[in-house]
Amino acid sequence: MTTYRFFATTPKNMESLLVDELRCLGAEGVTETRAGANFTGTLATAYKICLWSRIANRVLLVLDRFPAADPDALYQGVIAIPWESHFTPSETFAVELNSSQSQITHSHYGALKVKDAIVDQFRSRTGTRPWVDTEQPDIQINVYLRRDEATLCLDLSGDSLHRRGYRASGVTAPLKENLAAAILLRAGWAEIAQDGGSLVDPMCGSGTLPIEAALIAADIAPGLQRVHWGFLSWKQHDATVWKALLDEAHARKTDGLKKLPTIQGSDCNPTAVRAAQANIEQAGLAEFIRIDHLELEQCRAADPDHPGLVVINPPYGERLGAESNLADLYFRIGQLLKGHFSGWRASLITGNPELGKKLGLRAIRKHALYNGRIECKLLHFEIKPELFLSNQQRPAPLPVEKHSHGARMFANRLKKNLKHLRRWAKRENIHCYRLYGADLPEYAIAVDLYQGEQSWVHVQEYEAPKNVDQQNARRRIREALSIILELLELPEDRLFFKVRRQQKGTAQYEKLASNRHYHEVYEGDCRFWVNFEDYLDTGLFLDHRITRSRLAGLAKGKHFLNLFAYTGTASVHAARGGAISTLTVDMSNTYLQWARRNLALNGFDNDHHRTHQANCLEWLDQALKQGDRYGVIFLDPPSFSSSKRMEGTFDVQRDHVSLIKKTVQLLEPDGVLIFSNNLRRFKMDIEALSGLQIKDISRSTLPLDFERNPRIHNCWEIRLGG
């Protein structure tokens, strides 16, 4: 039996899966290469791989390898092949050439030389020539030029093997079938299915993952529905061998469908649901895969008694559009998994690995894959409470009788602070303030009191270092919570707890939950909505209390601009102080809606007090062209930002000079800019901003309740002229 040399191609980072698959399918001498693998075997082996490979793109029969340093050498190497032994002039053919690190750099020109050699040989030997069909040729010739050596191949697959033949309809950016198979194999789906586990895809799109999951679980050959193969018109094709392989595959499919576990998908997009149902119908799996039109939060396991795998391919950014909050989406995915799929395994592929952290789950494994040109991470999870990263789970207050000696120290300090600060707050008409800010190292928490018609306490734990005993740290938190509730005489449902980890960029603004519970609190003559549950911060930065009051005094009779405005609290103060108009600019529609609610709560209309959603850096350039001018500007950018809605990154230390220079151009001649940030190591580049009057007001804007933390923010008053 003749043994041939073959080469199978696959997407980058799927090579090891391909190697394992080839060996399982009977290939010999398998060696991994970049984006593929070499192997040897019989025609039966190659046919079986064409039919059964879930990972390969193409299976190529190597006809020859020869030096091809120039077009003439390439032509002579090709014309030396006896092409009449492979096909006749009545068949169509096409040539594809890929070149790397070779003197022939123009792929199309190289392909033409190969085509000319084949045509010239047929014409000289038979007096006629085969014609080229680039759409669906009978014979596909592939040439790979690497370092001036040509590998000449016959493409047995005919078309990329990821095209299984079941895709009747698609949606935007559908997942390729062999990538979907790779995700499932990396996730261990074959073993899970064999053990009777279910599969759930809550964002199924056009259904590729559920379909591929069914093909794997039911032992169905992925190429069984394909009608076009590159070897069917090849003169050396063995039709008997091919028919035997097809008969075997059909028999295995019949047996496999009898033991198929529960497979379900859902999507919030009705168009995607219809596409998935059409594809499943085309695949002949309509009675085996269930697809529903559901919002993400509505997804539930159809067979909860057989936990298995949740597999998800969420949007990476482009598909959701400019209004989207991807961090919120990933948080919702995490909530779904933790709330309704405990005991399951989950695998999620993402082109934005940072978003994976928003799931609130600790990945147990990771794999690198490519979705087209997008480098992705495949994250694997076990949905177990001990692997949850949620910082929303409040420890239960520890009864007083179980308190340690350290708890009494904390109680004394909190009692002392409360006595002192209550008098001060009453005298200054302050309703929301910090009671305790990690005064004792053992009790590393911040305790903030918020007051309106009712009172609430917001407690943030500063995450303990890894060398601190976690059990003792947890005990101290429980002690502190019981003491706080007792001294403030508050019921437990008015205490809100979070763990504050080291944040980067705008992470303090990102969602932790979606409860949407807002409470009205007071600040001087202003009223604000705060949210204690959904975000790390509440919507009201207490350390900027004096800054906001200062802005109110400056804004009287002026046009006021609030950049990086967050929830618009500074705009409310400016309006209350008598600003002619206010403009509140932020990138987040969520926070602008919040700002509009704050303005409305204080009786300010939308005609004179506007909000505008925009990347502030881009908006500045537009405003400068329009010649806008403001009497007072509040500029409070994040320390760092790499938002998907902006190009590049923003670093306040690196970029503050250019940002300030642009912003002051919007000032009226006698206007004032209040510039603030909370980067602790920030240094203002006074020299680079020569020509401006710059006054450091950080100390004078530091409230009494934050005196123990003088670097909570930096603040400057900047005017034109030097």
Write out pLDDT tens, residues 547-557.
Answer: 999 999 999 99
Would you state the pLDDT for residue 508? 46
- pLDDT reading at 193 higher than 60: yes
Q: What is the pLDDT of residues 211-241, one digit of tens each?
A: 999 999 999 999 999 999 999 999 999 999 9
Q: pLDDT confidence of 320, banded at 50, 70, 90?
A: very low
- pLDDT reading at 366 higher than 70: yes
- For the segment 409-435, the average pLDDT, to the nearest whole number, is 96
| Burial environment of residue 20 by CB neighbours within 10 A (0 to 12, 13 to 18, 19 or more) | middle
- For the segment 257-281, the average pLDDT, to the nearest whole number, is 95
Would you state the pLDDT for residue 325? 54
Q: pLDDT confidence of 499, banded at 50, 70, 90?
A: confident
- State whether the Cα torsion 223-225-230-236 is positive or negative: positive
Instruction: Outline which parts of the chain fall under CATH 3.40.50.150.
Output: 177-222+253-387, 538-720
Alpha helix positions (H), 376-491: 405-428, 470-488
- State whether the Cα torsion 711-714-717-719 is positive or negative: positive
- For the segment 6-10, the average pLDDT, to the nearest whole number, is 97
- For the segment 308-330, the average pLDDT, to the nearest whole number, is 70
Fold of 4-155: VC0802-like (3.30.2130)
| Burial environment of residue 258 by CB neighbours within 10 A (0 to 12, 13 to 18, 19 or more) | exposed
Q: In what order do the strands lie in the sheet with 263-267?
A: 289-293, 263-267, 199-201, 309-312, 345-350, 374-382, 365-371
- pLDDT reading at 319 higher than 60: no
Phi and psi, residue 342, nearest 5°: -60, 135
- pLDDT reading at 607 higher than 90: no
Q: pLDDT confidence of 502, banded at 50, 70, 90?
A: low
- Using DSSP's 3-state secondary structure scheme, residue 229 falls into coil
- pLDDT reading at 441 higher than 50: yes
- pLDDT reading at 488 higher than 50: yes
The DSSP 8-state label assigned to residue 142 in this structure reads: E
Q: For the stretch 658-692, what's the b/e string if a residue is b when 16 or more beta carbons lie within 10 angstroms of its beta carbon? A: ebbeebbebbeeebbbbbbbbbeeeebeeeebeeb
Would you state the pLDDT for residue 507? 44
Would you state the pLDDT for residue 663? 97
- For the segment 588-606, the average pLDDT, to the nearest whole number, is 94
| Residue 290 to residue 119: CA distance in whole angstroms | 52
Q: Are 214 and 201 in contact (CB under 8 A)?
A: no
Is 3.40.50.150 the CATH number for 177-222+253-387?
yes
- pLDDT reading at 446 higher than 50: yes
Q: pLDDT confidence of 458, banded at 50, 70, 90?
A: very high
With a CB cutoff of 8 Å and minimum separation 6, the contacts of 542 are 432, 433, 434, 448, 703, 705, 706
Bigger pLDDT: 392 or 664? 664
Which residues face 692 on adjacent strands?
Answer: 720
- pLDDT reading at 391 higher than 50: no
Would you state the pLDDT for residue 515? 57
Whole-number average pLDDT of the chain: 91
Would you state the pLDDT for residue 394? 59
Q: In what order do the strands lie in the sheet with 692-696?
A: 609-613, 581-586, 559-563, 630-635, 667-677, 714-720, 692-696
- State whether the Cα torsion 696-702-708-714 is positive or negative: negative
What pTM does this model have? 0.59
- pLDDT reading at 318 higher than 50: no
Would you state the pLDDT for residue 551? 98
Rounded percentage of the chain residues whose pLDDT exceeds 90 = 79
Q: Which CATH class is domain 400-502?
A: alpha beta
The label of the residue with tokens 């059990």 reads 471
User: What are 234's two structure tokens?
Assistant: 């090849």
The label of the residue with tokens 């009201």 reads 540
- pLDDT reading at 70 higher than 70: yes
Q: pLDDT confidence of 562, banded at 50, 70, 90?
A: very high
Q: pLDDT confidence of 402, banded at 50, 70, 90?
A: confident
Q: pLDDT confidence of 674, banded at 50, 70, 90?
A: very high
- For the segment 161-187, the average pLDDT, to the nearest whole number, is 89
- pLDDT reading at 166 higher than 60: yes
Spatial CA neighbour of 209 closest among 234, 185, 181, 186: 181
Would you state the pLDDT for residue 324? 39
Distances (CA, A) of 163 to 50, 85, 204, 206, 227: 12, 29, 18, 14, 11
Q: pLDDT confidence of 401, banded at 50, 70, 90?
A: confident
Would you state the pLDDT for residue 466? 65
Bigger pLDDT: 389 or 301? 301
- For the segment 452-462, the average pLDDT, to the nearest whole number, is 93
Fold of 538-720: Rossmann fold (3.40.50)
| Residue 289 to residue 308: CA distance in whole angstroms | 15
Lowest-pLDDT range of 7-11, 45-49, 331-335: 331-335
- pLDDT reading at 620 higher than 70: yes
Would you state the pLDDT for residue 585? 97
Would you state the pLDDT for residue 521? 97
- pLDDT reading at 328 higher than 90: no
Instruction: Outline which parts of the chain fall under CATH 3.30.750.80.
Output: 400-502
